[in-house]
Amino acid sequence: MKLSKFQTDGTKETEGVWVDIGDGAKVLVARIGNPKYREYYQRATKPYRRQIRTDTLAQDIAEKLYTQALAETILLGWEGLLDSDSKEIRWSRAKALEVLTDYKDFRDLVAEIAQEQDQYRTEEVEATKEALGNG
């Protein structure tokens, strides 16, 4: 197996890729673990390091920190996301945090997208897949 199969594009990982999530909506999602995510998470969890190390961090605090990290560094935009009155919701980091907090299944979808390596492959790998009819 060629290791180039695992080659990803660092720019895509940090700046995100647009992913269609259905019903005319799409999200701009950076890859989980990108440098901005790691830096943000390190800063945000610094006051809780001892609790994390001893596995005593309360679940609600851990969830809040994770959701904040997603809003700040992973969910970078959206289009076509509608509220209950079918009005388009404008993206902002504050609105992203609100939506990710209020809609846990949406948060889980964003996290799942952010973990999919295929979304962030280099163009060379994608071109090879398409040339072979696997794209």
Average pLDDT over the chain, rounded to whole? Answer: 91
Task: Say yes or no to pLDDT of 44 above 50.
Answer: yes
Token pair listed for 120: 């962030």
Least confident of 7-21, 43-57, 118-132: 118-132
Task: Say yes or no to pLDDT of 4 above 80.
Answer: no
pLDDT in tens, 63-75: 999 999 999 999 9
| Domains in the chain: boundaries | 9-122
Which of 114, 96, 111 has the alpha carbon at shortest distance from 15? 114
Q: pTM above 0.95?
A: no
Q: Is 70 helix (H, G, I), strand (E, B) or coil?
A: helix
Please indicate whether residue 124 or residue 41 has the higher confidence score (pLDDT). Answer: 41
Residue 133: predicted pLDDT: 59
Please indicate whether residue 124 or residue 100 has the higher confidence score (pLDDT). Answer: 100
For the chain, how many residues are written? 135
- The answer to whether 2 and 116 are in contact (CB under 8 A) is no
Q: What is the phi-psi region of residue 24: left when phi exceeds 0, alpha when psi lies from -120 to 50, beta otherwise?
A: left
Integer Cα distance of 37 and 83 in angstroms: 28
